[in-house]
A and B are shown apart, each in its own frame.
Chain A
Amino acid sequence: MGNNVLIFAEQIGGKFRSVAYEAVCQGKKMAQSLGGKAIAVTIGSGVEAIAKDLGQYGADKVVVVDNEKLKNFTVDAYGKALLEVVSKNDPAIVLLVASFQGKDLGGYVSAGLGAPLTADCTEWNWQDGGVQIKRPVYAGKAYVTVKFNTQPAVISLRPKVFPPDAPDASKTPEVEKFDLALTDDDFRSVVKEIVAKTTGKLDVTEADIIVSGGRGMKGPENFAILEELAALLGGAVGASRSAVDEGWRPHSDQIGQTGKVVSPKLYIACGISGAIQHLAGMRTSKCIVAINKDPEAPIFNIADYGIVGDLFKVVPALTAELKKVLG
């Protein structure tokens, strides 16, 4: 068995997603512990040009699978590509981020290799000659530390928990083109249509700052004040399950156990009581601010900073103050 780490570096539309850099950085660190190389894999169409950028984040080698047929993600085709690259590189670890694509690929690769998968890793360390993973379970009510009994192992990281190190422009990796033979059989799920998202809307899983609203928002039109605050901070607007169930916000904005799990730098919860299901989706945020008129709301137990008050007054005041301070 080898001692390399194979890293899936996700791209969309010819650009690497931030999760790609997160994965490469961690992959490099794992490879260093193993005494091997960090090999990044990028799959898509028209992606050759960006491949070398991964060197700046620590990739020793980047394998590029570039094929027109791979323009849209489907698990069969991308999974096949990843498995073939794995078979040629004999890694000890296959590393992904539990992004939308990563969630499909992790399982696919794991089954294809007969390699165990641990997902949603929020912490790892080198212990007893191997990588040990720590990850939340039971909606974050507990954490398990997991070790692998066999190699290779497949690991997926929780997005945004491992911010990438500053890129080192002096590093250039070895870039290898990988030719993949693709047949129709590799496209059993045919993408018939894609209705593109409203441009400019930042997905909550991508955002460093999230302003989130719950039942206390009292109606969809009131989210405008959160959108204003989020825009000022360059963040995204999220919603609790209550707000989504009421039909005020789309499900894609929902943060929580049955929605999205996020880990931004700053999470501002407005009119959100702090039910366990919601906490499961945001408790690993670095800084949590809660604004709620109920001083007993459970959200204050997890918040780093809280303001007890009417969010309809506090949020605009916060926006105004930030405008002054940030200029």
Chain B
Amino acid sequence: MNFDFTEEQKSMMELGRDFAEKEILPTQEQDEKQHLFRKEIFKKMAELGFFGCIIPEKYGGNETGHLCAALLTEEIGRVSASWTLPFNMQMWGPAFTILHYGTEEQKEKYIPKLVSGELIGAFAITEPNSGSDVAGMGTTATETDDGFILNGQKMWISNAHVADVALVYAYTDKSKKHKGISCFLVELKNTPGIKTAPIETKLGLFCAPTGEIAFEDAKIPKNALLGQKGEGFKICMWQLNNTRLGCAARGVGIARGCHEVAIKYALERTQFGQPIAEFQMIQDQLATMYVEYEAARLLVLKAAYEKDQGNLNNTLSVSTAKYYASEAAVNASGIAMKIFGSYGYSSEYPVERFFRDAKSLQVVEGTSNIQKIIISRAILGK
């Protein structure tokens, strides 16, 4: 087992780090205050190929793989958790799912433009009344002669009000229970009957747009169906097993950002005549942060590696990584706030943003409880 990074991987990590520091960091303070999704950053990420790692060259990707994508996500997440969302919204979510389940026509229509950033992507599972209980969703897609009619609501959807195309999960046949859910490629901006609205009242992830979608007799064509009718739940679980990897990498990035700034601060801040890094309690805290970051990172890299080897159904590895990295990120940001003291509480330091952003990881794309259920079922052989 080789734990060394290849030269290419190191170059990519350097690219991710430079990009985050030179393109995201300089305007981050004001962007966060204004809740700004800065289009130029998104475009530049796309131009460099960030959203093409797991996409074949045929569709505009660069085939560098899940591991590289995870490393890039970590580097970006170290500076801004918000800016890791596009990896999921463009690539791990819509593009990769269409690649796996789409017709050639659908692949050619959407994948290159998701990779290039010409289209902004999203995926819509959650509703006001259904989160963990995915099959409890209420949105319906009634089949007609020339397509489907969507009715319902989606909520807490990243990119809802900015996305061009979204994977929308809806019931085509309620009687079949979860086997009656289907997945659709819906063009949110140019389909009548679709209204979107931003959700501004979040705790964090301010530069990542979040919103809700309302479908009122929205007509979509037959070829909007992704995969087979009734395959939607399976596609959803499959999709989540990829986007969760992106979330986990985001958590690793936050955990790293936290322990790096905490170390720097502990070496500079003096109390009682010495740097606080000399005090054992601080050392205990820093060590905890480091260990949890390193462990989370290895879990993420393992899950990514497995996918690169062709094992895309590695739900145990992915959920383990997602669960652990989320907790590591939340824990790291909490510890960092303690180390920074009042400065941690201040908006002039990055720590409180890490704290707010990290918290989302425990609830998005399957709560930590859900991840543990997935894990326990796998290990109990259920």
Residues of chain A at the chain B interface (Cβ within 8 Å): 245, 296, 298
Contact = CB atoms under 8 A, between A and B. Distances in A.
SS class of chain A's interface: helix, strand, loop or mixed?
Answer: loop
A298 B270 CA distance: 12
SS class of chain B's interface: helix, strand, loop or mixed?
Answer: helix
Interface residues of B, number: 5
B351 to A, nearest CB: 13
A296 B343 CA distance: 10
A219 to B, nearest CB: 13
Contacts of B269: 296
A296 B265 CA distance: 9
A245 B343 CA distance: 27
B158 to A, nearest CB: 32
Contacts of B268: 296, 298
B279 to A, nearest CB: 17
Nearest to B265: A296
A245 B27 CA distance: 13
A184 B268 CA distance: 59
A274 to B, nearest CB: 11
Contacts of A296: 265, 268-269, 343
Contacts of A298: 268
Contacts of A245: 26
A298 B268 CA distance: 8
A276 to B, nearest CB: 12
A296 B269 CA distance: 7
B257 to A, nearest CB: 18
A161 to B, nearest CB: 29
6 contacts: A245-B26, A296-B265, A296-B268, A296-B269, A296-B343, A298-B268
A298 B343 CA distance: 16
Nearest to A242: B26
Contacts of B265: 296
A298 B269 CA distance: 10
A245 B26 CA distance: 10
A245 B25 CA distance: 13
A204 B139 CA distance: 68
A245 B21 CA distance: 14
Nearest to A298: B268
A311 to B, nearest CB: 16
A296 B26 CA distance: 20
B7 to A, nearest CB: 25
